[in-house]
Chains A and B, each alone.
Chain A
Amino acid sequence: MRRLLVALLTISFALVLTGGLSWFAVRNYRAAAPLAEENLRGLALTLAGAMESLAARDTSLTSLNSLVSPEVAYSALITGQGKILFHTNADLTGSVVGDARHLPVVREGTMREGRVRLGTGETVYEFQAPFHFAGEVSVLRLALHTWRAEAVMRRARQGQMVIFSLLAVGWLMGGGIVLLLHRQAVQQRLADRQHELARLGEVGAVLAHEVRNPLAGIKGYGQLLVERFPAGREHDFAGLIVSEAVRLEGLVDDILLYTRGAPENLATVNLAAVALPILTLLAPQAEELGARISCDLPDDLAVCGQEEGLRRVLLNLLTNALQASPENGVVTLAARRAGKWVELTVADQGGGIPAEMRAELFLPFRTSKARGSGLGLAICKKIIDGGGGSIRAEAAPGGGALLRVVLPAA
């Protein structure tokens, strides 16, 4: 819960930061365009004022050529009739202007501005304003290069791009770090698991040497007592000693099996050949429990695995299913080929496995049985994982539990 809260807070912070920086970048860029326009307008107004002053003093207009600015693409003075009185390209002075863009300025007596694309392909800022010359109102047309004035826009755009790039890289990096941390956590869990298994292995070894041998002695003496005592109370007690010793032996065997390394020498194993003896073995138990085992195994279905391990898995799953079955219940064992895999299912008609228990079902020492060791399914999972397969618990379609095992096909 705490981790989820931290994750939510981190994501919220990252989203707010992204939103804030994006807003700042976009706002900064949008503010730059009017600024550039103002720069150009200011320059145009300054030049227009200077030109009007010069024209007032020099009616030949030749002095206008002295107003040189690298920002000016060209300038022209046009009469209301379209005649060019002055042009920075002297060859055009005296000719008639080829467009009518000056007419609205003449009509309305107000300045106009906008962007115009020249024949060179360059887009310039065009400023047109009424120009009082020789007692008449003409139009001064100024075309200005925009590169210098638009430097502020370029900087804003660059800043915007840098912010967006950093945000993108930040998110990518964040995602990468989360992925790495997740992988690290998984690896840590695996390492812990290995460590746990190693410790279990040590415990197993101790059990093998320190418990198994005395246990064999207890069982042997118990069996001797069973034989010596006539039927009666003492005989029954001796029988209990033997049965409990046998159960403890089974537990020790299970622990040793669970702590053993991954199976080697995988071979082709015929599923039906392994399953049929087990079905025969379990038939009396099924009859005793009032249940029945239904088998649907193709004869030629083979998997890649270890025969002894597969036998153990089937025995465990079928025993569990029988124990969970109600009176007259049917346990179904089925298998089918699915591409490169063989899917084996064991379903019962019992009470099923609660969803919250399914995640822990295959962990060692987790059991709902009063006398179970909790190692059966853990051993099954270990054997199946070792063979490159998988096992999971589901709800059977007709109610009850369904254990689905997937193994590599031979």
Chain B
Amino acid sequence: MRTALPTIIFLLTLALVAPVPAGAAWWGGGDAQRDLDLESGYDANTVITASGLVTAMVIDEAKPQARFEMATGEEVWVVILGPRKYWTENGVALKVGDRVTVRGSKAQGKDGVVYLLAQCLTDESSGAEVALRNESGRPYWAGNGAGNRLGRNGSRSGPLRQQSPGRVGGGRMGR
């Protein structure tokens, strides 16, 4: 029985510890926003304009999209700026503490975090302005000659109309 004791202790420890990582795996903690289409997702219905302070810039290898965290009053939202490479080449130099105004489509991930899929962004601190999508929400990195829309004056093309569901391309409505 003495030889079996360590094994029994090991099994008991396993019984207590195993559910923890299993739970984490169940919830997919590593990619909780996987339900969202951060690359080309957009919905005109949820478009808002919000202002806040940059609290963290996230441009690293682990995440395919460049993003930053923005404090809007009591909440912290994650603003998605587009593919990391596109943002690195075409974005503006944001730093923590900058006040920004972002217009974009709001969505909540399965991790409970609110994401703002940016259409255009203005760095109030430097005055720099960048457009990342056209008015219908189609991302400029998707091509079709849209090109870079950097500059101080992002053009607007009049009032938006709702798109029909299932339309291929950028901005989409609820399906």
Contact = CB atoms under 8 A, between A and B. Distances in A.
A73 B19 contact: no
- Please classify how large the interface on chain B is, using the bins under 10, 10 to 19, 20 to 34, 35 or more: 35 or more
Contacts of A166: 15, 19
A147 B112 contact: yes
Contacts of A148: 112
Interface string B1-16: 1011001100110110
B104 to A, nearest CB: 10
Contacts, number: 150
Contact of A116 (B7, B14, B115, B175): B175
B72 to A, nearest CB: 10
A173 to B, nearest CB: 4
Contacts of B164: 98-99
A40 to B, nearest CB: 13
Interface in A135-189: 143, 145, 147-148, 154, 157-158, 161-162, 165-166, 169-170, 172-173, 176-177, 180-181, 183-184
A76 B45 contact: yes
B27 A117 contact: no
Contacts of A117: 174-175
Which label, helix, strand, loop or mixed, suits the secondary structure of the A interface? mixed
Interface stretch (A54-62, A122-130, A347-355, A364-372): A122-130
B107 A118 contact: yes
Contacts of B26: 157-158, 161
Contacts of A120: 36-37, 41-43, 46, 105-107, 115, 117
A158 B112 contact: no
B174 to A, nearest CB: 5
Contacts of B161: 92, 95-96
Given A121-B37, A165-B19, A173 B11 contact: yes
Given A120-B41, A122-B35, A122-B107, A74 B163 contact: no
Contacts of B115: 120
A262 B23 CA distance: 55
B30 interface: no
Contact of A118 (B18, B46, B109, B159): B46
A170 B48 CA distance: 51
A387 B110 CA distance: 66
A157 B26 CA distance: 9
Interface in B40-55: 41-48
B22 A73 contact: no
B67 interface: no
Contacts of A398: none
B41 A154 contact: no
21 contacts: A73-B46, A89-B46, A92-B162, A95-B160, A95-B162, A99-B164, A99-B165, A99-B173, A117-B175, A118-B43, A119-B45, A120-B105, A122-B35, A122-B107, A122-B109, A143-B174, A161-B19, A166-B19, A169-B11, A170-B15, A183-B4
Interface of A: 70, 73-74, 76, 84, 87-89, 91-92, 94-99, 116-124, 126, 143, 145, 147-148, 154, 157-158, 161-162, 165-166, 169-170, 172-173, 176-177, 180-181, 183-184
Given A119-B45, A169-B15, A177-B8, 11 more contacts: A87-B45, A88-B46, A89-B45, A98-B165, A119-B44, A120-B37, A122-B109, A145-B108, A166-B19, A181-B4, A183-B4
